[in-house]
Amino acid sequence: MEAARAVRVPDEPPAAAQTNDEVLVLDFGGQYSQLIARRVRECGVFSELLPHHVPLEEVRRRRPRGLILSGGPASVYADGAPALREELLGLGIPVLGICYGMQAMVLALGGKVRGAEVGEFGRSQLTVTEHGRLLEGLPAQQSCWMSHRDTVYEAPPGATALASSTESPVAAFEDPGRGIYGIQFHPEVVHTPYGTQILERFLDHICGAGMGWNAASVAEEQIRRIREQVGGGRVICGLSGGVDSSVAALLVHRAVGDQLTCVFVDHGLMRKNEGDQVVAAFRDTFKVPLVAVDAEDRFLERLKGVTEPETKRKIIGEEFIRVFEEEAVKLDGPKYLVQGTLYSDVIESGGGTGAATIKSHHNVGGLPEDLEFELVEPLRELFKDEARRVGVELGLPERLVWRQPFPGPGLGIRIVGGEVNKERLELLRDADFVLQDEIRRAGLYRELWQSFCVLPGDLRTVGVQGDERTYGYAVVIRAVTSDDAMTADWARLPYDLLERIASRMINEIRQVNRVVLDITSKPPGTIEWE
Ligand code: XMP
């Protein structure tokens, strides 16, 4: 369970909400709140996450087809626990409470919730006693995912209890006359096999929401909006090869064609062939005007002798901006800057539609005061997997669409405890290439959040190769699974795969004589080594 976020209400409803039916998820701070909105969208209904205390006026203004109250970390009886405003239940809009959302609803309507000694966490068995409208067509016995301590033991007066589980006498209830529905379990997680069906029943049969929304329709709408915003103006985009900036750039190119120029700064800290792939996709396939700057020497010159991680990051960030700025000036000062901001970034940073004009240094770090851009952010309404779908729709190559996250300072922060120089970068690039190649061949690339190598820069270890004693580099393999990089687990790569990776690295890269595996989760470790 995590602390509640500070989700703000955007000043303007997003474009998708103006042309599609919408269901709002009110966030009580639950760890799965974002996931609920994603699942609703997967059902074809546009959805946004708003704070549980969103003004009623705002809810009315949005005219959602339904409301979903999320789970939350608190007990309904805890001091300061967010209470449910009863008025939300009287707007004539169907409401589905999930976990905490259901308990808050039950409490507000005169049902009974007790703080239980025993919690119910993980998989649980649900017994449906009455199908009602919400659970119609579902089996009487099914498994579901629970994560709660407080328990509802009496449904509100006038409502019907629909199901129970071992620890929850009332695990689901409804009062269709008042448009009120509650479930104790989490339909949004994959461990509740009928979860999507339950959400669909709520959205379709109960809310009557149109199910026609999809990420591709957002693309069309965004292209129209970009044209409206930019008019005949010039646009610049810093392309990194990551999926967010790539999809954003392609959308803008579809909208305004050659008014867009992409700038790809190769700082020499990219992985093998990465720069070439970006240039090939954008310049050759999509015919996007692209300035590719080979700035390796500049970066390496400034990184000479630097070992302190934050200093390295600062130098790389500053130098990046300097190069980007030089190119912007050469392009005769474009007015608009494309950013691949995603909906999850918007939520994490407290929401809001964002000021239309910002000083660019807030985003790309340190441009001079006189260089101001107006932002073009066509992915602000999309989750990452939705942005990927748009990428596929636009014809972006698989390799770019499914690229694992790669940090801005690149391999610069993966040579640790020693100087970043050309020889070490070369070695790390080769090791990384072997790792990615083997992981892709094993079909595991997409399952991993990130997989990469770390090179302890000044460390040499002894080995014996042939009849000779060697002092070589040790390469660290780091592979993690994660949903959002906030927490991560080390990936259990098969032993035979690890063996192939290690022997290829040692055989194919002369200076490597040892390969080790990082088995630290986050927390306590971080994903990167510095
Ligand atoms: P950590 O190491 O903090 O990383 O667990 C979490 C995620 O952030 C990425 N990361 C960075 N990305 N600049 C970036 O653009 C950075 O300096 C940086 N440091 C870490 C990391 O790859 C992981 O996905």
Look up the pTM and report it: 0.83
Q: Which residues line ligand 1 (CB under 6 A)?
A: 313, 405, 407-409, 413, 450, 485, 522, 526-528
Residue the block writes with tokens 């985009």: 237
Kindly give the number of the ligand 1 atom that is closest to the alpha carbon of 313. 17
- Is position 186 annotated as part of the catalytic site? yes
**Mutate which of 448, 480, 486, 528 for ligand 1 pocket (most atoms within 8 A of beta carbon):** 528
**pLDDT for residue 529:** 97
- Do residues 8 and 350 touch, judged by C-beta distance below 8 A? yes
Q: What was the pLDDT predicted at 358? A: 34
Residue 70: predicted pLDDT: 96
Distance 527 CA to ligand 1 centre (A): 7
- Kindly report the number of other CB atoms within 10 A of residue 333's CB atom: 13
pLDDT score for 3: 38
Tokens for 326? 């030089």
Which residue in the list 52, 186, 253, 267 is annotated as catalytic? 186
CB of 40 closer than 8 Å to CB of 233: no
Rounded Cα gap, residues 246 and 278, in angstroms: 9
Cα 479 off chain centre by: 18
Closest by CA to 457, choosing from 485, 495, 514, 418, is 418
> Are 522 and 487 within 8 A, CB to CB?
yes
Closest CA to 530 of 390, 386, 414: 414
Ligand 1 centroid from CA 528, angstroms:
6
Q: How far apart are CA 39 and CA 68, in angstroms?
A: 12
Cα(255)–Cα(239) distance, integer angstroms = 17
Return the structure tokens found at 7.
């989700």
**pLDDT recorded at residue 466:** 86
75 Cβ neighbours under 8 A, 6+ residues apart: 81, 115, 149, 150
Residue bearing the CA closest to ligand 1, atom 10: 407
* Residue 30 Cα to ligand 1 middle (Å): 24
Task: Dump pLDDT digits (tens) for 172-204.
Answer: 999 999 999 999 999 999 889 999 999 999 999
Q: Write a three-state SS string for 239-254.
A: ECCCHHHHHHHHHHHH
* pLDDT tens digits for range 102-125: 999 999 999 999 987 788 998 999
CB neighbours of 444 closer than 8 A, spacing ≥ 6? 451, 491, 493, 497
pLDDT score, position 12 = 73
Q: Is 188 noted as a catalytic residue in this protein? A: yes
Closest residue to atom 14 of ligand 1, CA basis? 407
Q: Of all atoms in ligand 1, which is nearest to the CA of residue 449? A: 24
**Can you tell me the distance from the alpha carbon of 175 to that of 183, in angstroms, rounded to the nearest whole number?**
12
Residue 100's φ and ψ, nearest 5 degrees, are -55, -40
Q: What is the pLDDT along the chain (530 residues), one digit of tens a residue?
A: 333 455 666 667 787 877 789 999 999 998 889 899 999 999 999 999 999 999 999 999 999 999 999 999 888 998 889 989 999 999 999 999 999 999 999 999 999 999 877 889 989 999 999 999 999 999 999 999 999 989 999 999 999 999 999 899 999 999 999 999 999 999 999 889 999 999 999 999 999 999 999 888 888 889 999 999 999 999 999 999 899 999 999 999 999 999 999 999 999 999 999 999 999 999 999 999 999 999 999 999 999 999 999 999 999 999 999 999 999 999 988 999 999 999 888 887 765 433 333 333 333 334 445 557 899 999 998 999 999 999 999 999 999 999 999 999 999 999 999 999 999 999 999 999 999 999 999 999 999 999 999 999 999 999 998 888 999 999 999 999 998 888 899 999 999 999 999 999 999 999 999 999 999 998 899 999 99
Comparing CA positions, the residue from 164, 176, 183 lying closest to residue 105 is 183
Catalytic site includes residue 99: yes
| Burial tier of 284 (Cβ tally within 10 Å: 0-12, 13-18, 19+) | exposed
Strand 235-239 versus strand 336-338 pairing type: parallel
